[in-house]
Amino acid sequence: MSNLSDSTDEVQSFKFDAIAVIESPYREKFAIPRQPNLVSAAKGKLVLIGAANNHELVRDIEQFSHLWLLFVFHGTQAQGWKPLVRPPRLGGNKKTGVLATRSTFRPNPIGMSVVKLDKVVTTKQQTVLHISGLDLLDGTPIVDIKPYVPYSDAIINADAGFAQEQPDTALSVVFSEQAKMSLIQYEQRDSELALLIEQVLQQDPRPAYKQGKNDDKVYGMSLYDLNIQWQLTSFNTVLVLNITHVTQ
């Protein structure tokens, strides 16, 4: 399914322009955390574009430590959607209504994430919001930004069914000698690279059906322009094998 209706009725069909584009360390879907704030070391930028690239739109926004981002799942949009999906939290084999999940494959491919606002940088030409804790693919189009307001947005005793608790971050991460040497080299430009790799791998990016199981496959993931190879050495330990620069 793709089109919800063929209605051209203005009340039921809307056209929006992106107001910003995300710059993110996540250059591919694999290994992006499944929600924001699980990987605090992930830092990105919200680059305002078009008519929204005007510092007046973000005047006083620094008063808020966190922001809601509404965005388009542009990386999966073309794949359409189905009424039932298999959430990873249910092991990837039980079907649930799409609107009862945070799946990317939705009738309207709109995502929402709370991220931390670190600082606002404005030059004559460009307004940029520096953010962290993001779960967004590089290049994600943003359709709205709103302040996070805890008194209304945080409902402490809310029931969250199969997603009540934060997923276990059970994996321990160790670096090979070779990976440690690369870290020394790359940490000059990013002092939190080791922490970012560690936090991403702790989440166990493997498909849901592999979690909690031994696995001898060598995986590769990309962060910025780096390719990171890793492998499980026990059911709960990941070894980072090597970190190499990807030449384009």
User: Where does this chain bind ligand SAH (CB under 6 A)?
Assistant: 29, 32, 34-36, 73-76, 102, 104, 111-113, 135-137, 140
Distances 205 to 82, 115, 164 between C-alpha atoms, Å: 24, 20, 20
Nearer to ligand SAH, 18 or 48 (CB): 18
Q: Which residues in the chain belong to E strands, given as ranges?
A: 20-23, 43-48, 66-72, 84-85, 96-97, 110-122, 127-132, 141-147, 172-175, 219-223, 226-234, 237-245
Minimal CB distance residue for ligand SAH: 75
- Is residue 112 within 8 A of residue 68, CB to CB? The reply is yes
Shortest distance in whole angstroms from residue 136 CB to ligand SAH: 4
Shortest distance in whole angstroms from residue 91 CB to ligand SAH: 17
Nearer to ligand SAH, 33 or 127 (CB): 33
Nearer to ligand SAH, 137 or 228 (CB): 137
Among the listed residues 73, 52, 81, the one whose alpha carbon sits nearest the alpha carbon of residue 141:
73
Shortest distance in whole angstroms from residue 158 CB to ligand SAH: 15
Nearer to ligand SAH, 77 or 178 (CB): 77
State which amino acid sits at residue 192. E
Shortest distance in whole angstroms from residue 30 CB to ligand SAH: 8
State which amino acid sits at residue 33. P
Nearer to ligand SAH, 75 or 240 (CB): 75
Nearer to ligand SAH, 34 or 146 (CB): 34
Shortest distance in whole angstroms from residue 209 CB to ligand SAH: 16
Q: Torsion angle, CA of 190/192/195/200, rounded to 10 degrees?
A: -60
Q: 41 Cβ partners below 8 Å, 6+ apart? A: 132, 192, 195, 196, 198, 199
Shortest distance in whole angstroms from residue 159 CB to ligand SAH: 17
